[in-house]
């Protein structure tokens, strides 16, 4: 191959991610020209509604997948937390790159932690998962919808529309905005989304040539963790209407996986911790999902309609 084209969203963070992959590929394959194809997605255009109300996280990837289908690009770079648990037929993940910091970040101009916010404090987040965990631990706070790219969200905070906002720490760090982080939430305080802070590269399943080139970027430890986390989501329906957290870490040959399903108001939650062989992450994810159902997740899921 003499050329690889990467489909990407147009946000500054998405372009950073695509450029990072471009640079990695160029270093490995000096004779291959790697280009970016920036595209606008429905998820980037529908900014006034919560994602679960307008079609879910898949809105961030459909246009990129279309570019793969019609031959305008060979690769698409995604944040793995935005990739639906089930890929459409004909598509495959060619590589999952090493993960950045997977924690959620607390950002505020006046307060240092969630616990410092006064009753009625306004916390902005785009995530049902984050909102549910805030409500469970800090029932006096107001979790309000916050959409837009990272810069837009920070601008809304700076205008005083929120007392604090919650963002993925990885995005802030990648954009050189780590100084905006007042504190980091531990996984015990806010369990990350499946795949959070990991980048994935998608291509057509039948492009063995592309998969061979890109596969050299695979980070096996991260891939095992992300596969386990995504298996939890897949077993529970794979929808972003579910306040779901899943986070795995590698310990020797074992994966330790924590998973959570919570009611949006935070009043009910099921949480499990389990371990299994890193060589079979999907089975571990399925086991965690079954244990969640046994601990009350079934009733929570049923209540979500």
Distance between terminal CA atoms of the chain? Answer: 48
- By CB neighbour count within 10 A (0-12 exposed, 13-18 middle, 19+ buried), where does 304 fall? middle
Calpha distance 252→244 (Å, rounded) = 26
SS3 of 48, please?
coil
According to DSSP, residue 98 is labeled P
Name the phi and psi angles at 127, rounded to 5: -110, 125
Active site includes 82? yes
CA 292 to chain centre: 20
SS3 of 167, please?
strand
Q: Is the Cβ–Cβ distance between 234 and 292 less than 8 Å?
A: no
Calpha distance 300→243 (Å, rounded) = 10
Please tell me which residue in 82, 101, 104, 163 is annotated as part of the active site.
82
Calpha distance 46→60 (Å, rounded) = 10
Rg for the chain (alpha carbons), in Å? 19
SS3 of 251, please?
strand
Q: How many CA atoms lie within 13 A of 202 on its CB side?
A: 26
Element (H, E) at 25: helix 12-28
Q: Is the Cβ–Cβ distance between 160 and 78 less than 8 Å?
A: no
Name the phi and psi angles at 126, rounded to 5: -95, 0
Task: Give the residue numbers annotated as catalytic, written as ranges.
Answer: 82
């Amino acid at each position: 191959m003499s050329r690889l084209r990467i489909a990407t969203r147009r946000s500054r963070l998405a372009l950073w991610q695509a450029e990072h992959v471009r640079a990695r590929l160029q270093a490995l394959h000096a004779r291959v020209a790697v280009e970016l194809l920036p595209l606008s997605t429905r998820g980037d255009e529908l900014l006034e509604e919560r994602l679960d109300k307008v079609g879910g996280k898949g809105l961030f990837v459909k246009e990129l997948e279309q570019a793969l289908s019609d031959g305008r690009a060979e690769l698409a770079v995604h944040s793995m937390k935005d990739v639906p648990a089930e890929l459409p037929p004909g598509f495959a993940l060619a590589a999952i790159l090493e993960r950045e910091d997977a924690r959620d970040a607390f950002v505020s101009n006046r307060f240092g932690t969630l616990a410092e916010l006064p009753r009625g404090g306004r916390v902005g987040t785009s995530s049902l998962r984050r909102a549910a965990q805030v409500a469970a631990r800090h029932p006096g706070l107001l979790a309000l919808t916050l959409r837009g790219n990272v810069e837009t969200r920070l601008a809304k905070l700076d205008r005083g529309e929120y007392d604090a906002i919650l963002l993925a720490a990885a995005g802030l760090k990648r954009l050189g905005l780590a100084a905006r982080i007042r504190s980091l939430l531990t996984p015990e305080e806010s369990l990350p989304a499946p795949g959070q802070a990991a980048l994935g590269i998608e291509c057509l399943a039948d492009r063995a040539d592309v998969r061979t080139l890109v596969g050299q970027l695979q980070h096996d430890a991260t891939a095992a963790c992300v596969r386990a986390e995504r298996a939890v989501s897949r077993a529970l329906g794979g929808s972003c209407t579910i306040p779901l957290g899943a986070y795995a870490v590698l310990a020797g040959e074992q994966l330790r996986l924590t998973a959570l399903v919570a009611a949006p108001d935070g009043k009910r939650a099921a949480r499990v911790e389990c371990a299994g062989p890193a060589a079979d992450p999907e089975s571990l994810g399925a086991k965690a999902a079954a244990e969640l159902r046994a601990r009350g997740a079934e009733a929570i899921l049923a209540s979500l309609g």
